[in-house]
A and B are shown apart, each in its own frame.
Chain A
Amino acid sequence: MSENDQVQRDQVRGEWPLYEVFLRGKRGLNHVHVGSLRAADDQMALRHARDVYTRRNEGVSIWVVPSANIVASSPAEKDPFFAPSGDKVYRHPTFYDIPDSVPHM
């Protein structure tokens, strides 16, 4: 079922929409996806995210976003979408032969 089908079905049945939850574990770290929940609106989604995903100080900051608003790439790893970076080994430092005697490199 696509995201849009799910959104339409929720609206017909009066179900609260699905939100994705992202937590910043502590200062200096990125927000990381931890799961999803259902809430009537944005503020409720934040409060529910606090109750469900941070009962033990797991986060100092929470993002919630309606799942329907996530834009995602196609899932298969061999997808040609990622091909442009596949054949460019010269982007990696190990591509270059440098004598061991060269210091600080």
Chain B
Amino acid sequence: MTNVEAPQDLQNLFDETIAADQRIEPRDWMPDGYRKTLIRQVAQHAHSEIIGMQPEGNWLTRAPSLRRKAILMAKVQDEAGHGLYLYSAAETLGADRGDLTTKLIEGKQKYSSIFNYPTLTYADVGVIGWLVDGAAICNQVPLCRSSFGPYARAMIRVCKEESFHQRQGFELLATMMCGTEAQRAMVQEAVDRWWWPALMMFGPPDDESPNTEQSMKWRIKRHTNDELRQRFVDMSIPQAEILGVTFPDPDLRWNPERGAHDFGEPDWSEFMDVVRGNGAASVERITNRKAAHDNGAWVRDAAYAFAQRERLAHDRTTGETS
């Protein structure tokens, strides 16, 4: 049954599968670079979901009503679930979940820089749902057709759930905009703080994005960073008008020739600084993640030891040896 094939045949089969828009599955042969790129991207994505629990988790105990608390709890639980779908996809590539967590804690793998900004008011919860999750949806919908099967399937599950996240955020803000002058000002202030970081979520401009070209050839990515950023801006503007808020960009205007909005350039030096770990909440995020991991160690060990003991006891009573 073993059918040893020449590397060139394997490469050809891989190329044909990609060209035919078919999916690569875990046990298929794939180039090392493809595997490495995917592990890096999927792990970074998984870490973002896990770290992404913290900015909003910060407000769980101070939600303004039981309704908002239940919604926020469900959303934070979803982020945990999304992280787990993605770690599951990463493991099909031969990555080890424990290793990935260690790399996150040791700062050897990154997560989205958006989560290194602090959540200062409850309006931030709404803005994260509307803009941050909105930007995530823009990024993730094309990933549902990513060439690696397990990643694409995980993204389909994530996108279905992400829609609730965005809508609850928009509804929260719309409710606050019907409130007092102070509440409306709180929403506008939160929008002003999150708009530019949300635009940075799509990554550096195309001419400075080292991985985009190869990732598009491999059909891991389907659109460039700038294409997705433009799509997000065009989507968000009518939503902001309905909400009654403005974006802090004097260059933002409709361009009839392009059939799209022109907009200003994000501060890429700030982006690079946050990526390097100098965000306002960078240290806190990793410290919390490490503490959760360390404090949970005895629970993981105890559950493992208990399972081992039960297995031995079971084998003894049934006379099995395994």
Contacts and interface: CB of A to CB of B under 8 A. Distances in A.
A16 B303 contact: yes
Contacts, number: 69
A48 B2 CA distance: 37
Interface residues of A, number: 28
B82 to A, nearest CB: 10
Contact of A76 (B28, B85, B91): B28
A41 B307 contact: yes
Interface residues of B, number: 36
B1 to A, nearest CB: 6
A9 B96 contact: yes
A14 B304 contact: yes
A81 B91 CA distance: 26
A16 B13 contact: no
Nearest to B74: A55
A56 interface: yes
Chief secondary structure at chain B's binding surface: helix
A40 interface: yes
Contacts of B3: 74, 76, 79-80
Interface in B295-322: 300-301, 303-304, 306-307, 310-311
Contacts of B28: 75-76
A78 B94 CA distance: 23
Interface in A1-55: 1, 6, 9, 13-16, 18, 34-38, 40-41, 44, 51-52, 55
A35 B306 CA distance: 25
Contacts of B78: 55
Nearest to B299: A40
Interface in A79-93: 79-81
B72 interface: no
Interface of B: 1-3, 5, 13, 25, 27-29, 74, 77-78, 81, 84-85, 88-89, 91-92, 94, 96-98, 150, 153-154, 157, 161, 300-301, 303-304, 306-307, 310-311
29 contacts: A6-B96, A9-B96, A13-B98, A16-B300, A18-B91, A35-B85, A35-B88, A35-B150, A36-B91, A38-B97, A40-B304, A40-B306, A41-B303, A41-B306, A41-B310, A44-B307, A52-B81, A52-B84, A55-B74, A55-B77, A74-B1, A74-B2, A74-B3, A75-B25, A76-B3, A76-B5, A78-B13, A79-B3, A80-B3
